[in-house]
Amino acid sequence: MWHHSPAHALGVAGAYMVTAGTYQKKHLLASDELLSTVQESLFRTAAEYRWQLQAWAILANHYHFIAIPDGVATSLPNMIRKLHAQTATRVNRTLGTPGRKVWFQYWDTHLTFEKSYLARLNYVHDNPVHHGLARVASTYPWCSAAWFEQNAKPSFFKTVRGFKYDRLNVPDDF
């Protein structure tokens, strides 16, 4: 394995957190249209590959999502490949830069401990606040915070929101 590539251990079922960044951390998704394009493509691609999204946040130069596969996670590389190909084509068409590299790498983490899963759920829902894009995450249209607030059972919502994420090791130096 090339030593700079992230490891992908996908042989078991369970929740996975995925982070991907744009090439050279450029803010290529710096418009409502492009953020919406990536979000809608994530929804379609996850459904196509039968991954249930639990949380997501799409920002100008990266995204995070947490999802659970219907079965084992071996379809994740193909899902990401399709998501990146579709969104790169659309970004480049919109910006008039055909063929430019849009995405760099992605990292996935198999979430095997409940507390780790809950802390990362809170982290992803709150990512726009973490990056200074919103004072309240539920007001940022390209993340799951508002959806989570509206659809989660109140006790689960309170539990997740109570988990601190300041000590998480998440690739997010964007």
Give the span between the Cα atoms of 14 and 69, in whole angstroms.
7
Which of residues 44 and 166 earns the better pLDDT score? Answer: 44
- pLDDT band for 6, please (50, 70, 90 cuts): very low
What is the pLDDT, as a whole number, of residue 4? 38
| Model pLDDT for residues 91-105, shown as the tens digit of each residue | 999 999 999 999 998
Which of residues 32 and 2 earns the better pLDDT score? Answer: 32
| Model pLDDT for residues 120-158, shown as the tens digit of each residue | 999 999 999 999 999 999 999 999 999 999 999 999 999
Q: 35: closest CA among 146, 130, 143?
A: 143
Q: Does domain 15-161 have CATH number 3.30.530.20?
A: no
| Model pLDDT for residues 19-76, shown as the tens digit of each residue | 999 999 999 999 999 999 999 999 999 999 999 999 999 999 999 999 999 987 889 9
| Model pLDDT for residues 7-22, shown as the tens digit of each residue | 444 455 689 999 999 9
Q: 125: closest CA among 110, 108, 142, 111?
A: 142
Give the span between the Cα atoms of 147 and 149, in whole angstroms.
5
Beta-carbon contacts of residue 71 (< 8 Å; ≥ 6 apart): 13, 50
What is the pLDDT, as a whole number, of residue 21? 96
Q: What is the pTM of this model?
A: 0.88
Q: 142: closest CA among 46, 47, 31?
A: 31
CB atoms within 10 A of CB 155: 8
- Give backbone dihedrals phi and psi of 125, rounded to 5 degrees, phi first: -55, -35
Domain boundaries, the chain: 15-161
- pLDDT band for 173, please (50, 70, 90 cuts): low
DSSP readout, 39-86?
Answer: HHHHHHHHHHTTEEEEEEEE-SSEEEEEEEESS-STTHHHHHHHHHHH
CB atoms within 10 A of CB 68: 17
- Give backbone dihedrals phi and psi of 103, rounded to 5 degrees, phi first: -105, 150
Q: 17: closest CA among 131, 150, 165, 154?
A: 165
CB 144, CB 56: distance < 8 Å: yes
